């Protein structure tokens, strides 16, 4: 995405027009489009200034609840994104799975799960519930 023209460039074009040049002449002199010069002068005459609008840098609404979310993951590091969203909604914190994912991505927290998280090591013959899923562990492994 192209960058905005500097405030100094805008001021020079406006000063040129205010000193008697036409907007098109000023635009040609400073190598900007005529429509850009027209908009800058119009903005200056309406408001007394014409600075570029701020760009980018929005802040997520979840940042207000960062302490809650980070504590939640510290207490229960094996939560899934959906479980985090459910916990948020119980505390009346609005948000979606995508918003939570982006929040944790900004805070360098990952949720990578592998098959080895819920399977006993090879050679361990235990029958009983999976700790993470509450299902019965198969008596024989398939590999």
How far, in Å, are 61, 116, 124 from residue 130 at the CA level?
Answer: 36, 12, 13
Neighbours of 23 (CB within 10 A): 20
Place 121 in a pLDDT band, splitting at 50, 70 and 90: low
Ranges of each domain in the chain: 7-47, 58-138
Mean pLDDT across the chain, nearest whole number? 82
Q: What is the pLDDT of residue 56?
A: 78
pLDDT: which is higher, 37 or 141: 37
Q: For the segment 30-77, what is each residue's pLDDT rounded down to a tens digit?
A: 999 999 999 999 999 998 888 887 777 788 899 999 999 999 999 988
pLDDT of residue 143: 53
Please give the pLDDT value at position 54: 79
pLDDT at 1: 55
Distances (CA, A) of 100 to 16, 66, 80, 141: 50, 10, 10, 35
Question: Does the pLDDT of residue 123 top 90, yes or no?
Answer: no
Calculate mean pLDDT across residues 82-99: 94
Residue 140 has pLDDT above 60, yes or no: no
Band of pLDDT at residue 95, cut at 50, 70 and 90:
very high
Q: Rounded to whole angstroms, how far apart are CA atoms 100 and 96?
A: 6
Q: Which residue has better confidence, 84 or 132?
A: 84
């Amino acid at each position: 995405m192209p960058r905005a023209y500097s405030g100094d460039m805008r001021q020079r074009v406006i000063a040129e027009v205010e000193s008697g040049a036409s907007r098109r002449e000023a635009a040609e002199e400073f190598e900007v489009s005529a429509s850009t010069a027209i908009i800058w002068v119009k903005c200056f005459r309406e408001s007394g200034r014409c600075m570029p609008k701020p760009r980018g840098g929005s802040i997520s609404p979840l940042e207000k609840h960062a302490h809650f979310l980070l504590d939640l993951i510290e207490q229960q590091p094996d939560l899934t994104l959906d479980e985090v969203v459910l916990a948020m909604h119980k505390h009346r914190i609005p948000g979606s799975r995508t918003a939570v994912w982006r929040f944790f991505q900004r805070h360098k927290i990952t949720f990578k799960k592998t098959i080895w998280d819920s399977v006993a090591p090879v050679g361990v013959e235990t029958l009983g519930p999976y700790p993470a899923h509450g299902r019965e562990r198969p008596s024989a492994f398939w590999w």
